[in-house]
Chains A and B, each alone.
Chain A
Amino acid sequence: DTAVSQTPKYLVTQMGNDKSIKCEQNLGHDTMYWYKQDSKKFLKIMFSYNNKELIINETVPNRFSPKSPDKAHLNLHINSLELGDSAVYFCASSPRQKSGPRTGELFFGEGSRLTVL
């Protein structure tokens, strides 16, 4: 039933490891995003995909690599994890109006809390 679902919800790992977070949406939206929320609750966009194509890539280290196998899925792989990568990562999706631009409304998953030790 969940509209935007992320797995895992919690991830604890050591520095230097590689980890992935998966996201799926069943809303039929064509655009998906990854956001990072730090300990102060600041929210920052990382990537955006539209119909499997990368359209936004903010200044994110290339250790972060998103992959969208289809428009309902957007995964995030992180190589060589660092302490500063500890955060909550949110997946989101957004719809397009029937005719015209995107509505701008975002639908968020519940987040994946990554802790790097």
Chain B
Amino acid sequence: GDSVTQMEGPVTLSEEAFLTINCTYTATGYPSLFWYVQYPGEGLQLLLKATKADDKGSNKGFEATYRKETTSFHLEKGSVQVSDSAVYFCALHDAGKSTFGDGTTLTVKP
């Protein structure tokens, strides 16, 4: 079946540091890929998405590129802020079903 593997956390960074959270997937079909963010005490919300190979999703300074050859969708941000502290989930959608990674907790310190 489909699966998503993301970088284990927790990740702790200083403000303005560069962020990368790795995500790789396996899928039988041709999935759409997503990053969701969960702030403390809230539900998940879509951060960005990409629906085909070489698409780049971007939002709020975060970016991820759909790489079919490496089956990856790594999340990056050039300069993180304290307000980016949250849990980040990589996910794929294929054949009517969504599969989530285990989540990566990011803490950004001032």
Query: Which chain A residues have a beta carbon within 8 Å of chain B's beta carbons?
Result: 4, 40-43, 45, 48, 55-56, 90, 92, 101-111
Contact = CB atoms under 8 A, between A and B. Distances in A.
Interface of B: 31-32, 34, 36, 38, 41-46, 49, 51, 87, 89, 91-93, 96-98, 100, 102-103, 105
Contact of B34 (A43, A56, A102, A104): A104
B102 A42 contact: yes
A4 B42 CA distance: 12
A69 B105 CA distance: 37
Given A102-B93, A103-B32, A41 B102 contact: yes
Contacts, number: 57
B96 A55 contact: yes
Contact of B97 (A42, A43, A56): A56
B34 A105 contact: yes
